[in-house]
Amino acid sequence: MRHVRKAEAAFEAELAAVRPELSAPYAAALPGARAAVLGRLWRSLLYEPLPGLAAPTTDVATNAGGQACVPLADGRRLRGRARQPYDLEGEAALWLDGRPYTHPAELLAALALPGTTRLVEDLDNSVASLALSRAAARAGPRPLDTPEDYEQSVVDGHPYHPGCRNRPGVSVAEQLAYMPEHRTTVALDLVALPAAECLVTGAWPGALMDGDRLLLPLHPWQTRHVLPGLGLRPYATGAIPARPLTSVRTLAPVDGGPHVKTAFSTRMTSSVRDISPGSVRDCVPLSRLLATLSGRRGGRPAVAGYLAGAAARIDGEHSADLSAMLREPTPRAGAETVLPVAAITREMARDPVAWLSAFARAALEDALGLLSLGVALEAHGQNLLVALGRGGLPYRLIYRDLADVRISPARLARNGTDTPQVGPRLLTDDPDVLHGKLLGSLVGTTFGSLVALLGRRDRAAESRLWDVVAAAAHKVLDELPRTPDADADRDAVFGTHLAAKAHLLAQLDDAPPGDRWTRLPNPLAQRTS
């Protein structure tokens, strides 16, 4: 037990040294953080085809009786509350052969599933970081006046990923200094590079040039941990004060202007947050494609596209560790409230049915409309922003962070659009991939988390909310031109199952790079308009 909780002890010791006033709130937040990560782990064990489980368990949580059981290949049994894949609550305990476990890392170690050695440490880190995030967030009032305020109000991270706050390699002091939920401002550094040797896409701004040298914005964590190993020193420190957004490594300069996406070369949640040369090459042509397709739909959704990107050449190759991209700032109209869907609270939706109806109509019109033209968005709560009108109801959407969309060259061609010059990773005509990318994020994560938030485990209320989403989907699909593509999209939207990311499976010790997938029961299945 001491081994799997070592991160908690390490955080406690460092916190006592750097922010002792948070020590008591941190200790008080630990039980809730353990329960929150345990709930996410239980979801993965219920719904992902993990090695060491006796059989696929995709539908196990729908069994009657209020309890679910996951049999292990060695004959042991893990029991807990039945759980829909979209549920948000944590779990106080799970029982392995009758023994209760309250700490997710301790439970995963006891399960001894193949390939989970690193995951045990990740869950331990996720619990400790989440407790730190919650402790700091509750330390004082939180004004919500600007888009950046709302961005920094998201405390718990990904609603379904067990590594929701996993940040190995980032100390307590660094989390307090750099992470958005700590309501911080980060001063970005600049590194000077020979412009002729850099990979540059788009129009790099003159303000970030010094003669024939390109001035690349650099996160101070990167300056401290990565730059010395590259044999470089910063040109200027603290040059661009900026507020970190929900993705941590994308920041909004305090003085305005383009948002800056920086490299932050450590794993957060589950991925290393560097910026590949391929992403630098793709960012501007990809943004132009999304802007063109949005323009054909009357500017919906609004797209915060990339203006430029740059990567340094290190040892003869362009470096993912020394790169940055400049993105259009969040577009706003007048005094409207703009915030990521992940920042929505129940108090904002005073009438849950009316709120979700307006959001579902806007989100499905935009997402399915773009899919019909040839692009599947990854429309989860961090990438998708919503603009609220005077009555507090959603009326338009903004999409950002384009690197994980999928493009269908065949659909583009059928709609008279040329395929942009982007890497092959982004291109596919496989309808299962297109539908998994869009519906796994939009239905499985975005709508799922909103229904859970607004329904509060009242299954009758949740069913009514899913009816609202289904009605909007039927209406949007009925309004789209009837084509074979549209028929395939309709079948996927209302199919029996959804493809969704398997968060735990993708993080096994021997997992290949890239996403892994599972099949979840589709809450929209068999719901009529």
pLDDT in tens, 182-191: 999 999 999 9
Evaluate whether residue 162 is within a structural domain. Answer: no
Let me know whether 342 and 422 are in one domain. Answer: yes
Write out the two tokens for 424: 């092959």
Let me know whether 343 and 322 are in one domain. Answer: no
Evaluate whether residue 418 is within a structural domain. Answer: yes
Bridge partners, 290 (sequence order): none
451-478 average pLDDT score: 97
Let me know whether 475 and 341 are in one domain. Answer: yes
pLDDT in tens, 131-156: 999 998 887 667 888 899 999 999 99
Let me know whether 283 and 203 are in one domain. Answer: yes
Q: Say if CB 518 and CB 56 are below 8 A apart.
A: no
Write out the two tokens for 436: 């998994």
User: Phi and psi of 322, rounded to 5°?
Assistant: -130, 75
Q: Round to whole Å and give the CA distance between 45 and 362.
A: 33
DSSP secondary structure of 133-150:
HHHHHTTS-----SHHHH
Question: Which helix (H) or strand (E) element contains residue 307?
Answer: strand 306-314
Torsion-angle region of 257 (φ positive above 0: left; ψ -120 to 50: alpha; else: beta)? left
Q: What is the DSSP letter of 445?
A: I
Write out the two tokens for 256: 């305005």
379 pLDDT more than 90? yes
3-class DSSP state of 73: coil
pLDDT in tens, 365-376: 999 999 999 999
Q: What is the mean pLDDT of the chain?
A: 93
456 pLDDT more than 80? yes
The mean-pLDDT minimum among 48-62, 112-126, 225-239, 330-344 falls in: 48-62
268 pLDDT more than 80? no
Q: Say if CB 168 and CB 202 are below 8 A apart.
A: no
Evaluate whether residue 242 is within a structural domain. Answer: yes
The mean-pLDDT minimum among 103-117, 154-168, 264-278, 374-388 falls in: 264-278
**3-state DSSP helix/strand/coil percent for the chain, to nearest 5?**
40, 20, 35
Let me know whether 499 and 352 are in one domain. Answer: yes
236-247 average pLDDT score: 96
> What pLDDT band is residue 58 in, cutting at 50, 70 and 90?
very low
Let me know whether 303 and 410 are in one domain. Answer: no
Let me know whether 360 and 317 are in one domain. Answer: no
332 pLDDT more than 60? yes
Q: What is the model's pLDDT at position 137?
A: 83
Let me know whether 36 and 125 are in one domain. Answer: yes
312 pLDDT more than 90? yes
Q: Round to whole Å and give the CA distance between 80 and 63.
A: 12
Q: What is the model's pLDDT at position 255?
A: 94
Let me know whether 485 and 344 are in one domain. Answer: yes
- Residues near 474 by beta carbon (within 8 Å), at least 6 away in sequence: 528, 529
> What pLDDT band is residue 3 in, cutting at 50, 70 and 90?
very low
Share of the chain above pLDDT 90, in %: 87
Q: Round to whole Å and give the CA distance between 47 and 494.
A: 19
Q: Round to whole Å and give the CA distance between 256 and 364.
A: 31
Let me know whether 443 and 417 are in one domain. Answer: yes
Write out the two tokens for 61: 């949580």
Q: What is the model's pLDDT at position 142?
A: 76
pLDDT in tens, 489-515: 999 999 999 999 999 999 999 888 888
> What pLDDT band is residue 529 in, cutting at 50, 70 and 90?
low
- As a residue count, the chain comes to 529
Evaluate whether residue 439 is within a structural domain. Answer: yes
Nearest to 383, CA basis, from 222, 261, 514: 261
Does a cis peptide bond (omega within 30 degrees of 0) precede residue 301? yes
Q: What is the model's pLDDT at position 2?
A: 39
Q: What is the model's pLDDT at position 1?
A: 40
292-309 average pLDDT score: 96
333 pLDDT more than 80? no
- Residues near 487 by beta carbon (within 8 Å), at least 6 away in sequence: none
The structural domain count of the chain equals 3
CA angle 102, 105, 109 (to 5 degrees): 110
4 pLDDT more than 60? no
Q: Say if CB 267 and CB 231 are below 8 A apart.
A: no
| Residues of the domain holding 204 | 185-327
Which of 103, 122, 149 is the C-terminal boundary of a domain? 149
Which of 126, 149, 172 is the C-terminal boundary of a domain? 149
Q: Say if CB 499 and CB 436 are below 8 A apart.
A: yes
Let me know whether 205 and 93 are in one domain. Answer: no
Q: What is the model's pLDDT at position 62?
A: 45
